Amino acid sequence: MRAVVLISGRGSNMEALLQAGLPVEFACVISNRPDAKGLEVARSLGVATAVVDHRQYHGREAFDAALAAAIDGHAPDLVILAGFMRVLTESFVRRYQGRLINIHPALLPAFPGLHTHARALAAGVRVHGCTVHFVTPEVDVGPIIVQAAVPVLAGDDEASLSARVLAQEHRIFPLAVRWFAEGRLRLRDDGTVALAGQSGAGPALISPLPDGG
């Protein structure tokens, strides 16, 4: 299976994917920012890179058309948004429907959009996390593939909570891509995702635990 990864910054999730030993040929890493540090990381790992600078285009439609042309040049089976900080047009999303996935630093449908960790802390939630999902035209509401939850600890700030969630992002993003590559994911008619060969439920995460818990 061939994949193209889209990034905008440091590309830590991209790096986790490239180093996970997945049954995937990563054809190219594309950034909308020429100064994205993840481009250097990808090249150091032997993956081709390209830049489609959004500042060179007038409007989202023109940028998305150029981005799609760059992607299609690699004929990918999967397009992966790994910290790609652009809102994509509906026509772009429809073009890759069912093979366009994203990772979001919250337990969707809670906290879509930006500043998720600060919003989670402000809301006083006890459990936070991350979500890998198929992308749909409406931002951060696509069918959920996999989620990971972490406890929100006493004394957490945005940085400490973000670090704990990021560690889980690096675990579940490669897992979701592996499932896709192995053909184990199926979109149900009701818009949810079925995973073939799913095992039984794991232990629950309870936070905070009572004394003696």
Residues marked as catalytic: 104
Length of the chain: 213
The secondary element (H helix, E strand) that includes residue 103 is: strand 100-104
Going from the C-alpha of 24 to that of each of 21, 46, 104, 167, the distances in angstroms are 8, 14, 22, 22
Other Cβ atoms closer than 10 A to 96: 19
Amino acid at 123: A
Contact 130, 147 (CB under 8 A): yes
**189: CB partners within 8 A, 6+ apart:** none
The encoded tokens of residue 174 equal: 């490669």
Q: Which residues pair with 5 in a beta bridge?
A: 29, 80
Among all chains, which residue has been given the structure tokens 């593939």?
145
